[in-house]
Amino acid sequence: MPTIDDVARAAGVSASTVSYVLSGKRSISGPTRERVKRAIAQLGYRPHAGARALASSRTNVIALMAPLRVGVDVNVIMQFVTGVVTRAREFEHDVLLLTQDDVVGIERVSNGSMVDAVIVMDVEAQDARIPTLVGLRQPAVLIGLPGHTQPLSCVDLDFEEVGRLALSHLTALGHRRIALIGPPPSVLDRHTSYADRMLRGYRAQALVDDVEVLVEPCESTSAGARRAVAAVLEHMPDVTAVVVHNESALPTVVSALRTAGRRIPDDVSLLAVCPADVALSQSVALTSIDIPAQQIGAAAVDMVMERLAGSGAVQTRLFAPQVTDRDSTAPRDSTALPRT
């Protein structure tokens, strides 16, 4: 591999000039720049990342800690990751992948100066990683909100508002008995940020709208979904609307409701909280609140970059949820009246 000195020699300039051509940190005359660029292209020169990191204390790599366990809304995770990687590349950064369980990994890559920043997914209310993150030399961004405010940047969909919105959308349609088929018990037990907040908003809105609600956790399997539907129908036989916040359960919830003789949306309205493409790939186009995972991932990178540029302060950024009406919701009395 050619080094910066090889390039400098080929272009008849000094190494620092090559460096400055590459970084743009000082002005270079047109002809010089041209010669240097030609030499770089000719030799196929690539700066050595380690040397660069050593000299500049910048690695152009950010760490992303993602929950690689299977079963938990794998699509959403993929979209977060895609958003992060794609946006990072736009800033000439690469992404180092850390897994959830590798908590010491944060310190390893941070203290070992392998990365410029850390993005953490799947945050829990009392997240064990937070003390570590707070002590880091590099900026950290959470996707999700910890239970208590921390000196850390956070970004997420406003899940509390998701809960309120889901419920109020259905009550506005006249529904008074509404069930939530939620995330798996394990997610709830861990007080995963998004699940907790969604539930809080949902329950709060139930009080406001004075409607009866039911919350049924749901394993991310077909059997789990069927069990959840059965439980809902048993405990709330006259349910007329269901909110589903569990991507993998979605197809089975839909078919289980039908099997139980509940037409969608004639007998039961269904509102899903999931990425838009998931809502659209079900057997009915589902009315849904989109989880803009890719955008959130991209926003996390933006916040990282602002912090690295020195222009960004610690902040929390919440995306406002929106209901997209599709074919799975209807007014409560839609069957009582003739339909078109």
Partner DNA sequence: TTGAAAGCGCTAACAA
Partner DNA sequence: TTGTTAGCGCTTTCAA
> Does residue 102 interact with its own copies by CB under 8 A?
yes
Peptide linkage before 331 cis (omega within 30 of 0): no
Among residues 105, 120, 190, 193, the alpha carbon closest in space to that of 130 is found at: 120
Among 74, 136, 188, 236, binds its own copies (CB under 8 A): 74
Is residue 4 near DNA by the rule CB under 7 A? yes
User: For the packed helices 4-11 and 15-23, what is the interaxial angle rounded to 10 degrees?
Assistant: 100
CA angle 195, 97, 275 (to 5 degrees): 40
List the one residue out of 166, 211, 172 whose CA is nearest residue 331.
Answer: 172
Site for DNA (CB under 7 A): which residue of 54, 104, 172, 230? 54
Of 15, 68, 214, 215, the residue at the interface with its own copies (CB under 8 A) is 68
Pick from 24, 25, 148, 207 the residue near DNA by CB under 7 A. Answer: 25
For its own copies, the closer of residues 34 and 101 by Cβ is: 101
Q: Kindly tell me which residue out of 26, 38, 89, 263 binds DNA, with binding defined by CB under 7 A.
A: 26
- What is the distance between the alpha carbons of residues 250 and 108, in angstroms, rounded to a whole number? 39
Q: Which stretch binds its own copies (CB under 8 A): 12-20, 91-99, 199-207, 264-272?
A: 91-99
Nearer to its own copies, 126 or 283 (CB): 283
Handedness of CA 13, 16, 18, 24 (dihedral sign): negative
Pair of tokens at residue 308: 């690295």
Q: How far is the CB of 110 from its own copies (least distance, A)?
A: 8
Q: What is the secondary structure of 239-283 as a DSSP string?
A: --EEEE--GGGHHHHHHHHHHTT--TTTT-EEEEEE-HHHHHTSS
Greatest pairwise CA separation for the chain in angstroms: 86
Out of 10, 39, 40, 45, the residue judged to bind DNA by CB under 7 A: 45
Return the one option of DNA, its own copies, none that residue 147 interacts with (CB less than 5 to 8 A, by type).
none
Binding residue for DNA, selected from 41, 51, 134, 208, defined by CB under 7 A: 51
Please tell me whether residue 40 binds its own copies under the rule CB under 8 A. no
- Measured from the CB atom, the residue of 4 and 239 that comes closer to DNA is 4
Residues found near DNA in the complex (CB under 7 A): 1, 3-5, 12-20, 22-23, 25-29, 31-33, 45-48, 51-52, 54-56
